[in-house]
Structure formats: structure tokens, C-alpha cells
Amino acid sequence: MFELILCSMLTVLPDYLFRRYVQGKRIGREITLYTMWYELRWGITACLLLTVSLITLIFYYHPSTKNVTAIFRTVTILPETTGRVAEVFVGVNAKVESGAPLFRLDSSEQEAARETAQRRIAETVAETTVAQTELAAADGLIQQAQGAYQQALDELATRQELLRRRADVSVREVERLQVVADGRKGGLDASVANKRTIETKLDSLLPAQKASAEAALAQAQVELDKTLVRAGVAGTVQQFTLRPGDIVNTMIRPAGILVPQEAGRGALIAGFGQIEAQVMKKGMIAEATCIGKPFTIIPMVVTEVQDVIAAGQLRPTDQLVDVRQIAQGGTLTVFLEPLYPGLLAGLPPGSSCIANAYTNNHEALAAKDIGTAEWMFLHVVDAIAIVHAMILRIQALLLPVQTLVLGGH
């Protein structure tokens, strides 16, 4: 309507002034309701064409959308393991800081596993002490075996010398002493091998067993820590109705929702028509008015333009998908951030808004090789942005009326 009034002032009004003051035709005589089309046909036709052209230029080069929302992300409160709730620390709508405890699951099984791991470590330490005692005993056995072996060698050497001198010594006795010496040599080797076994046990086996027990203790502690669910970020707890005795399942029953403190307070997400894909660019200036913040125009800037249309996404399934099932008219997702910090303060996350984006041809107009026709066209495109800006301000004024009065709220 605003565009029609503006265009009529440039077409219908001059046509009427020409008919009235040049041709002398007056309203109610030559110009009546029945002759209006014939008398003002040039102005009416030009008005319609100019109105359509103006609306097309405005909505194409300065797009507008009502699909604007302060989208915010929520964090599902969910433990890493299934269990029964033993203790609850917060209530509904509670403000929590990052790392604050929310609730605790029954941890008797995890505590038993930790106690078992601790006992295993203590057992390994005791085995180490025993092995050190056995090592000392092995040293004594080696000394004893060395003495017996040396004694057998000395006695064998004496008998062999007497046999060489042809004393009263039989060969059988010398052979017997040789067997005794060999036996004691085997006993000495066995004692040395036993010491090496104990040393290996002290150096490798027992430390490995202790390390395994410590790893089991760490794992048990991790499992025990999982029973205490903490807030990952600072925010507000919503839909949190847990009570001691409830079962929380990691797959089908979350505990509640945590709304981050800064969620939805830094940007707006807008869905523009697909026809604006060639116009919407990063860095464009935009404006928004929100129902949660009436009578306010918020200057924004386009920080990101999603390069895909969400309506065309395809998830692999066991059935072939007909294109008609997914080829629905989606929107071009655009991220808008306030031009200055704090402009979205007081706007509740999830608020619905209306946004305009404005094409800026300043750099193109400043180019030296621009043609006259293009220069005029770009000037017209930039100038008609004021029309859309005025429309947005009218919408900001009428939005509370439409919501509270006409909407029946």
C-alpha cells in the first residue's frame, strides 16, 4: 500500500493535474467514477507498472523476512551411565555455575570396585616386602651352597693328589667325590637361579602387578566420578524433576535440560527466501524488530550466510527417497549479529522477530569505469532502501497492536 501511494504521486497525480488544468476537466463532470479509467488510463497504468517494479526492486535488493528467531542451544542433562538416583542437589529453574553438582547416582558398585583395587595395591606392596625377604634368604643359600661346593672341590682335589701319588685311595672314592662336587655345583646354580627369579619378580613382575592395580584403581575412580553429574556450562536448569530413587537411562530418559547462560543472546537466525541467494552477502547491514522488545529497531550485520538449503538434506535409509518428498521450499539461513554490543540485552532467547537486509552499492558506485545507466540504477536501488526501512518502522509500531488487540491476546 505504501508503495502504491508513493507511485501514484508520481503517475496518477501528474496525469490528473494535466487533465484538470490543461484540458480543463473536473472531477464530478468530465472525470467520474465511470470515466476515471478512460481519463486517467495513462497514469493508472504507469502507477501499476511502477508499483510492481518498485516492490520487486525493494524485496529483491533489500530482502525482508518474518522467519527470524533468537535461537538458543540447550544441553541435555544426562549421565554417562545408567543408574538409580541417590541424591539431588538442585531444583527446577536453578541457576548453576560450570562444574556445579546436579545429582548423584548410586555408587555402591563403583565404590566396591575402587576398594578392591586399593586392596590389590596393598597386596602387591606386601608381596614386594616378602620378595625382598626371600631375596635376603636367597643370598644366604647361595653362600651356603658356595661353601659346600668349595669343600667338595677341596676334598676332591686332595683325593686326586693322593691317587696320583699312589696312596691308599681308590678310584671309586675319587669318582664318588666328583659326583658330590657336581651335585653341590648344581645346588649352587639352583640357588643363583632362585635369586635371579626373585630379583626378576621384584624388578618386573611386582611393579607390573602394582601398575595394573593402580590402573584398575584409576578406572574405578573414573567410574565412581561418573556417578556424580555436574553442569558442563553455567546456565539455568529446566524440566529437572528428578527425585531420589528414579532410574536415569542414557538412551531413553534424560534427567533434564540445561539452558546455557549466554544462549540465544548474541545473534539472530533468519530464514530468507531462496531467491535472495545471490543478494545476501556477508557484511550486509540489516535491521530487526522483535516482539519481545517492542517499539525498538535493532541494527544488525550479516555475519554468515549458510551455503546450503536445509530442506534439501538427505539421510541414507533402507528405502529410495522420491525427490518430491524433500523438494519443499526451504529458506536461506542467515546469521545476524548486533552492530553494537548489548543491543540484544533484554531480548528473551527464542523471541520471534522481523528483519530487513539492505544492499549497499557504495563500492560499485565509486568505481571509475561504471556506466551512466548502471550508475543511475544502483542509485535507485540504494535510494529505495528507505522505503523498506520505513515499512519496518511501521511494522514495529503496529506489532504490539496486532499481537495484543487484533490477535486476541
> What's the pLDDT at 10?
67
Q: What is the mean pLDDT of residues 347-357?
A: 89
Q: Which three cell numbers stand for residue 298?
A: 535493532
> What's the pLDDT at 301?
93
**Superfamily of segment(s) 62-72+264-313+324-408:** Efflux pump adaptor protein, beta barrel domain (2.40.30.170)
* CA–CA distance, 103 with 91 (Å, rounded to integer): 10
Contacts of 318 (CB under 8 A, 6+ apart): none
On average, the pLDDT of the chain sits at 82
> What's the pLDDT at 317?
77
Band (300; pLDDT cuts 50, 70, 90): very high
Contacts of 389 (CB under 8 A, 6+ apart): 287, 356, 358
> What's the pLDDT at 7?
67
Q: Domain 107-212 belongs to what architecture?
A: Orthogonal Bundle (1.10)
Please state which of the ranges 116-125, 146-155, 375-384 shows the lowest mean pLDDT.
146-155
> What's the pLDDT at 191?
78
- pLDDT tens string 364-380: 888 888 888 888 888 88
> What's the pLDDT at 299?
93
Paired strand residues for 230: 101
Instruction: Please check the confidence at residue 409 and state whether its pLDDT lies above 60.
Output: no
275, 277, 329: which is closest to 306 by C-alpha?
277
Q: Which three cell numbers stand for residue 347?
A: 531480548
Please state which of the ranges 11-15, 261-265, 333-337 shows the lowest mean pLDDT.
11-15
> What's the pLDDT at 287?
92
Q: What is the mean pLDDT of residues 378-400?
A: 86
> What's the pLDDT at 43?
74
Regarding the domain delimited by 75-106+229-260, which CATH topology (the fold level of the hierarchy) does it fall under? Answer: OB fold (Dihydrolipoamide Acetyltransferase, E2P) (2.40.50)
* CA–CA distance, 31 with 37 (Å, rounded to integer): 9
Contacts of 185 (CB under 8 A, 6+ apart): 149
Q: What is the mean pLDDT of residues 276-289?
A: 90
28, 128, 152: which is closest to 20 by C-alpha?
28
* CA–CA distance, 58 with 393 (Å, rounded to integer): 15
Per residue, the 3-state secondary structure of the chain, as one string, reads CHHHHHHHHHCHHHHHHHHHHHCCCCECCCECCCCHHHHCHHHHHHHHHHHHHHHHHHHHHCCEEEEEECCCCCEEECCCCCEEEEEECCCCCCEECCCCEEEEECCHHHHHHHHHHHHHHHHHHHHHHHHHHHHHHHHHHHHHHHHHHHHHHHHHHHHHHHHHCCCCCCHHHHHHHHHHHHHHHHHHHHHHHHHHHHHHHHHHHHHHHHHHHHHHHHHHHHHHHHCEEECCCCEEEECCCCCCCCEEECCCECCEEEEECCCCCCCEEEEECHHHHHCCCCCCEEEEEECCEEEEEEEEEEEEECCCCHHHCCCCCCCCCCHHHHCCCCCEEEEEEECCCCCCCCCCCCCEEEEEEECCCHHHHCCCCCCHHHHHHHHHHHHCHHHHHHHHHHHHHHHHHHHHHHCCC
- pLDDT tens string 212-253: 888 988 998 888 888 888 888 888 888 888 888 888 877 777
Q: Which three cell numbers stand for residue 28?
A: 464530478
> What's the pLDDT at 39?
67
> What's the pLDDT at 140?
81
Please state which of the ranges 45-49, 336-340, 389-393 shows the lowest mean pLDDT.
45-49
Paired strand residues for 293: 290
Q: What is the mean pLDDT of residues 336-362?
A: 88
196, 197, 207: which is closest to 128 by C-alpha?
207
> What's the pLDDT at 334?
92
Please state which of the ranges 35-44, 73-82, 108-117, 341-350 shows the lowest mean pLDDT.
35-44
> What's the pLDDT at 169?
63
- pLDDT tens string 305-330: 988 888 777 777 777 877 777 767 78
Instruction: Please check the confidence at residue 335 and state whether its pLDDT lies above 90.
Output: yes
The residue type of 38 is: Y
> What's the pLDDT at 154?
73
Q: What is the mean pLDDT of residues 95-118?
A: 88
Instruction: Please check the confidence at residue 162 and state whether its pLDDT lies above 80.
Output: no
Q: What is the percent of the chain with per-residue pLDDT over 90, rounded to a whole number?
A: 6
Are 282 and 304 a contacting pair, CB within 8 Å? yes
Q: What is the mean pLDDT of residues 280-284?
A: 89
Where are the chain's structural domains?
A: 1-61, 62-72+264-313+324-408, 75-106+229-260, 107-212
Band (1; pLDDT cuts 50, 70, 90): low
> What's the pLDDT at 356?
92
